[in-house]
Chain A
Amino acid sequence: MLSVEEEELESLPAAPSQDVPGDVDNSAPEQRVEALVRAPWMDHRRTLGGAAIGFCAAGLWLRSLPDIDPGNFDDIGLVPALPFVAYLALILLTIGFSAAITDRVLNRALLLIYLSLLMFMVYGVTAVIEGTTRFNAAWRHTGIIDYIMRNGSVDPNFDAYFNWPVFFILGALFTEVTGLSNLLGFAAWVSVLLNAMYLLPLVVIVRSSTSDPRLPWLAAWIFLLTNWVGQDYFSPQGFNFFLELCLVAILLRWFRIAKHGSHLLLRIVPLRHVWARVPRFIRTWLAPADVPSATINRWQRNALLVSVVAIFVVINGSHQLTPFAAFFAVSVLVAFNRCSVRWLPIIMLLLIALWLQFMATAYLASQGQALVADVGDVANSLDQTATKRLSGSPGHLFIVRINLAFTLVVWGAAFLGGIRRAIAGYRDVTLALLAVAPFLLVPLQSYGGEMLLRVYFFALPFMAFFVAALLLPTEDAGRSRWMPIIMCAISLGLLGGLLLTRYGNEKMNYYTHEEIAAANYLYTVAPTGSWVVTANWNVPLRHQGYDTYRYAVLRDMLSETAPSSGIDPLAEVFGDDVLRRTIAPAIANLIAERLATRADGTQLYLYISRSQTVANRLLGLSSVPPDVLAKALAATGRFRVTYSNQDGTVLELANQAFRGGLWCGWSPWACPPS
């Protein structure tokens, strides 16, 4: 039985399209759209001219690559190391795209060339100039895949990854089928592949909400210019983000509700009464009908629904956070009457509960209380993400502030884009809801201080649409001769911001061949079961022997109790006697002794590398740089340097010299700290 308000809303005529504002001439939109896209593949002169710009940009970029030396990265990352020619290539590419997107005739071939070039130039640059896989987590993920290949099983009690292992199982299948020894080489290029994949659902999503053929291209361009958070690496998050976008794209393309109707929220009586008091024109403005879905028959509908559930099953088993992001996105769509599959959130919630109950039991048993304790603590979540990152070297602090500013600029531009669209008469309620839905994740937990970064990532496709809409709010907009210049200036501003934010920590995030050689040497000499100790977490390790070695960072090995939250492992244990740029022999001896005690007769190797030293300085982790520590420990005679090159050192603890808590012929107290 429908209420009066519901009947009133149901009786309203279906809106023809969100893209047809009431106060804009809409006499012949189809003809105008046709005019925009007529003869796109046949305008040879434009195509050749635009392609020439693209190839010039690519040529200049390729020419600049040999001049980029990762050794020239400094505390603000890649930007100072890029030669002028590289910037020239990017400027040329941006000019080409800006001209093409504002051209009277939309040339898809050109736009595709520009997008592809941007993807390779910005997202593939590190793979080319560094030649190795960045981010320590990518190395760890490769190690988990190696574990699955060796054991053919997962051990949920080992760590959290094995409670959501589907991505790694898939990785194991890929490794076996491709015949590679591991996926590290593939992982170096995965950002390019993933960003290309993200653009597919992004285009479907934008096309589901607008008939302007330029907006999907511009939104894709903006997405590539603003994807700074770096979650598109070889990770469950990067993989699941694609699947989540596909899930949303399927719902938006084939399961929209194309008529005015009541929100599910209006079934709540108090809300219904409040809603009934709102003037009718506001109600219809706030609850517009959606663009009609693409027509499908029952067989297609059922097949797509099965695929949506199957996709969610994979997401649910691959990642801790993405299932909740997908659940919130779909729930918001259903609650606000934007999706006809109203049972889907219930199924999703059920699947999440089942997975937590039966497949992630080990994780919940150990971390469940901590997880629940964080729920609702928004202040902590924001504090962990923003405030606690504000430490380290001046260059790093500058990058952190740029990150925050860039995020606010993108969100602000998206907000203004939404306002501009609304003023023009468009009501992009669906995409606005999807842009806001990820913020519901913030109260859940801080996610290791990364929650706001993940929120930015999940919201980015929809924010990109609104930023694009700020530039091209209507189908008639963008025809002025100034628009290419404005478009170019904004794109270059975003590009500059992207290079600073995405690659601001590149000096720390990349690994040289030398430090990787040292890591590989370690695995060839260290017996199974050995301790592998590092100064901090920023290491290219664990890509093999994930379960057969005992890994620890120095702080954990030195601490008497469980790992604490202190940020200086040495000062925490030995107080302020640790000197700023050097380390006293007595302290080094104490460290050696403590490590020997902790190792308890097991072989112990200390791996010190360039990237640890850089991370230590950039993030302000410890008052003693790892390379200085390594030299001091080697000088004690308790450690033997088994391998050393310019970027990596492997030290082996001489266990045999330590017996029953006494070092032969030496007392650490004989020489007081100086």
Chain B
Amino acid sequence: MVTVGLPAVIVVSACLVGLLFYADIDTPLRPFVGLWFLLVCPGLALVRLLHLDDLVSEVMLAVAFSLTLDALVASTMLYAGVWSPGGALAVLISVSIGGATLQALRAASRPSVWPRLQKSARR
């Protein structure tokens, strides 16, 4: 369930942040959704593809990868003279949804990693 659940969370987060940003919806929820997405989602979409099977390491890498990706995408656009927060967000949403889709596809052909993650968390 979790192997499908996490990709679903990533996709929903990506869609929500896209909706709030591109439709410019001013809601108190938007800062939290934006923060959650940029801080966690792109990295989480990629790190689960590595199958490292260690919960703390995966959370650490999810945040580190997310910040690194955010920074690289935004900085590349700025230095290329095409600064566009909307464009950068589109790239990050694409990465997140792409990674989550791959996770879901792999999950269909692999046994759940949740028991292994639970075991690693107890270490």
Q: Hey, which bits of chain A sit against chain B, CB under 8 A?
A: 37, 40, 108, 148, 152-154, 165-167, 169-170, 172-174, 176-180, 186, 197, 200-201, 203-204, 207, 213, 239, 242-243, 246, 249-250, 253, 294, 296, 300, 303-304, 307, 310-311, 313-314, 317-318
Contacts and interface: CB of A to CB of B under 8 A. Distances in A.
Given A172-B85, A173-B85, A177-B85, A152 B68 contact: no
B52 interface: yes
13 contacts: A37-B122, A153-B81, A169-B74, A169-B75, A174-B34, A174-B38, A176-B85, A177-B37, A178-B30, A253-B57, A294-B52, A294-B54, A300-B50
A37 B64 CA distance: 29
B15 interface: no
B97 interface: no
Interface string B37-52: 1100000000000111
5 residue pairs, one from A and one from B, having the closest CB atoms? A176-B85, A152-B83, A178-B34, A200-B60, A246-B64
Interface in B52-109: 52, 54, 56-57, 59-61, 63-65, 67-68, 70-72, 74-75, 78, 81, 83, 85-86, 88-89
B64 A204 contact: no
A164 to B, nearest CB: 11
Contacts of A166: 71, 75
Nearest to A299: B50
A173 B64 contact: no
Given A173-B70, A173-B74, A177-B37, A207 B56 contact: yes
Contacts of B51: 300
A405 to B, nearest CB: 33
A153 B35 contact: no
B105 to A, nearest CB: 16
Nearest to B25: A179
B52 A300 contact: yes
Contact of B88 (A173, A296, A300, A304): A173
A318 B122 contact: no
B106 to A, nearest CB: 13
B119 to A, nearest CB: 11
Contacts of A177: 17, 21, 34, 37-38, 85, 89
Contact of B72 (A148, A180, A304, A310): A310
A179 B38 CA distance: 13
Given A174-B35, A294-B54, 13 more contacts: A108-B122, A153-B78, A154-B78, A173-B38, A176-B85, A177-B17, A179-B34, A200-B60, A239-B67, A246-B63, A294-B57, A314-B68, A314-B75
Contacts of B85: 172-173, 176-177
Interface residues of B, number: 40
A314 B67 contact: yes
A17 to B, nearest CB: 14
Nearest to B86: A176
Contacts of B63: 197, 200, 242, 246
Given A152-B83, A169-B74, A242 B54 contact: no
A318 B75 CA distance: 10
A303 B21 contact: no
Contacts of B72: 310, 313-314
Contacts of A176: 21, 85-86, 89
Contacts of B30: 178-179
Contacts of A172: 74, 85
Given A169-B75, A186-B31, A311-B64, A304 B70 contact: no
Interface in B1-38: 17, 20-21, 24, 26, 30-31, 34-35, 37-38
Contacts, number: 118
Contacts of A173: 38, 70, 74, 85, 88-89
Contacts of A296: 52
B44 to A, nearest CB: 13
Nearest to B81: A153
Nearest to A177: B34
B123 interface: yes
Contacts of A197: 63
Nearest to A38: B122
Given A152-B78, A154-B78, A307-B61, A179 B20 contact: yes
Contacts of B121: 108
Contact of B60 (A239, A249, A303, A313): A249
Given A173-B38, A314-B68, A246 B21 contact: no
Most buried by A among B35, B78, B85: B78
Most buried by B among A200, A304, A313: A200
B97 to A, nearest CB: 16
Contact of B67 (A207, A243, A313): A243
Contacts of A250: 61
Nearest to B26: A179
B64 A207 contact: no
Contact of A243 (B59, B64, B83, B89): B64
B122 A40 contact: yes
B31 A179 contact: yes
B74 to A, nearest CB: 4
A6 to B, nearest CB: 33
A415 to B, nearest CB: 28
Contacts of A165: 75
Contacts of A174: 34-35, 38, 70
A307 B20 CA distance: 30
A280 B52 CA distance: 38
Most buried by A among B50, B75, B85: B75
Contacts of A178: 30-31, 34-35
Given A174-B38, A178-B35, A317 B75 contact: yes
Nearest to A148: B78
Interface string B109-123: 000000000000111
B91 to A, nearest CB: 11
A176 B89 CA distance: 10
Most buried by B among A40, A169, A203, A243: A169
A110 to B, nearest CB: 14
